[in-house]
Amino acid sequence: MALETIDTAAKRGVLAVQEYVVLSARAVSNIFRRPFYAGDLFQQADIIGVGSLPIVILTGFFLGCVLALQTASSLEQFGATAFTGQLVSMSMIKEIGPVVTALMVSGRNASGMASELGSMIVTEQIDAMRALGTDPLKKLVMPRIVATVVMLFFLVILSDTVGILGGGFVSVAMLGQSGSQYFHTAYQSLQYPDLLQGLVKPLFFGLIIATIGCYFGMKTKGGTQGVGRSTTQAVVWASVLIIVADFVISRFMIGIYGR
């Protein structure tokens, strides 16, 4: 009986992965086909990008503040507090900025996509769209994927900038360090591989957030309870896959550039 249960769970998992890959591939391929639904694209960009600005700015600023505090207290033991700006900028740009921003956007938007599309499935609005000859993947999923990837890219840049400024604020106002020294070391320590790693990650994270949210939304079953389950699963799986993708990308980039 236990073997049958394991076998059934394995088959269900493989089928779910297959459905996710097919849905994502079809949605991404729709980017290059007409019509483009520019209105829906800009609407989603406003919801995902502009709507996430407050939480991204607050999170990035206080992350930079905490990084500066922790880094300075650790470096003080070795008399190397001058390197605070270097460690804050590298941590924010390479790792903390992209990952935390993606997790914040995931909690806000992956759940929103899953609940919105799930509600449309439950109320049979998706079936009505198909009956009218409209492809739901083209109309609903594709704009969300493009908007999430594009807007997360700029949100991560904003988060990195605000985080470095937050670290500078703490270093100068609270720790008494030189502002010019902080920003000079923060800028001079960065190299091309560091910037590339920090700018590549949000592209993959955005794709994960949008495709996971849309997948669980489009696969919603069981009425309003199903919508709740889809919303929870979307946030959980998007967060897990972001962490996994972060490890894979970091390992790949370090293997190529050595840092």
- To 5 degrees, how large is the angle CA 167–CA 204–CA 160? 10
Note if the bond before 98 is cis, omega within 30 degrees.
Answer: no
Structural domain includes residue 27? no
Structural domain includes residue 142? yes
Structural domain includes residue 204? yes
Q: Which residue segment(s) compose the domain that 242 sits in?
A: 36-257
pLDDT value of position 1:
43
Highest averaged pLDDT of the listed ranges 33-37, 121-125, 179-183, 230-234: 230-234
Q: How far apart are CA 197 and CA 47, in angstroms?
A: 26
Structural domain includes residue 31? no
Structural domain includes residue 30? no
Q: What are 62-78's pLDDT values in tens digits?
A: 999 999 998 888 888 87
Structural domain includes residue 9? no
Question: In this prediction, what percent of the chain has a pLDDT beyond 70?
Answer: 98
The count of domains in the chain is 1
Structural domain includes residue 55? yes
Q: How far apart are CA 109 and CA 34, in angstroms?
A: 26
Structural domain includes residue 7? no
On the question of pLDDT at 4 being above 70, the answer is no
Q: What are 147-165's pLDDT values in tens digits?
A: 999 999 999 999 999 999 9
On the question of pLDDT at 258 being above 80, the answer is no
Which pTM does this prediction carry?
A: 0.90
